[in-house]
Amino acid sequence: MNEIDYKSDVKPTWCPGCGDYGVLNSIIKAAKMLSLKPENTVIVSGIGCSSNLPHFFNSYSLHSIHGRAVAVAEGIKFANHELNVIVTGGDGDGYGIGLNHMIHAMRRNVDITYVVMDNEIYGLTTGQSSPTSMLGHKTKSTPFGVIETPVNPIAQALSASATYVARGFSGDPGHLAELIKGGISHKGFALIDVFSPCVTFNKINTYDWFRKNIYKLEGNRTDDFTEAMKHAKETERLPIGLFYKTDTPTYEERDLVLKKSPLIKQDRVDNNILEKLMEEFA
């Protein structure tokens, strides 16, 4: 398949210059490299500018509700774990209201890939601080500057036992595509946090700011948890690349029911049995 085969007929509606264009292109590149079949792929999103992404990608998709994208993706994966399940969203949706679901999916090691477009601001609601906004950042909701310690997505993922943890930059789609490719190929929960500038409401964390403050991880041991956490804690310069990867059995491989076959291929419970149970307990 060619890259154009993964583009839907719906045209992206993001602001000109939005970093999410680079993320969409990177996902398309990764899909082409892996020869993903659209009919075997599902993209799930929550709410936010970035959560519109499934509309622009040619596959099955579900635009779910705020903060619940990972939970919905888990349900899809459990129903048919032969599908490639990808979640896309933003830092507000994923690291704010949706953080609880993300942590538990990580510790279960559900085989899904989560691409988070982290612009350090609430863009859809026109510029409030988000869970990853920098200390001191003045926004509509923090006119005197953010006073809360920002969430560290990489450290959070490592501590929650995610088995593939990476970070990219939408301004380098080639590099990002390789990270997303690796995440989709990985058996287990994969987080790809993406620095994706909001050109309209975040005038601090711009493309130029990121280019001055990021560097690529090279030669690091991606199987060393301690080294990965050390890189995750860096603040003077922000590393991008693959932090950590380990092979651990997935939830679907360990669960007594799911490991037999996808739920959609298993025999369904007889309706008479269900009716008796309803009579007994309802």
Cα four-point dihedral sign 195, 93, 113, 25:
negative
- pLDDT over threshold 90, residue 267: no
The answer to whether the beta carbons of residues 223 and 246 sit under 8 Å apart is yes
Tell me the C-alpha to C-alpha distance, in Å, between residue 1 and each of 30, 56, 85, 176.
12, 17, 19, 20
H or E element that contains 239: strand 238-245
pLDDT at residue 24 in the model: 98
Topology of domain 3-281 in CATH is Rossmann fold (3.40.50)
Looking at residue 102, its pLDDT comes to 97
Indicate if the pLDDT at residue 270 is higher than 80: no
Domain locations in the chain?
A: 3-281
Tell me what pLDDT residue 28 has.
97
| Residue type for position 66 | H
Which of the four pLDDT bands, split at 50, 70 and 90, describes residue 122?
very high
**Band (243; pLDDT cuts 50, 70, 90):** very high
* pLDDT tens profile 6-55: 999 999 999 999 999 999 999 999 999 999 999 999 999 999 999 999 99
Band (97; pLDDT cuts 50, 70, 90) = very high
Average pLDDT over residues 76-87: 96
- The count of C-alpha atoms lying within 13 angstroms of the C-alpha of 48, restricted to the half-sphere facing its C-beta, is 33
Residues above pLDDT 90, as percent of the chain = 90
* Spatial separation of the C-alpha atoms in residues 78 and 111, rounded to whole Å: 10
Give dist(CA 92, CA 95) in Å, integer.
6
pLDDT of 134 higher than 80: yes
The per-residue pLDDT for 117 is: 98
Say how far apart CA 279 and CA 282 lie, in whole Å: 6
Residue 114 has pLDDT above 90, yes or no: yes
Supply the pLDDT for residue 268: 77
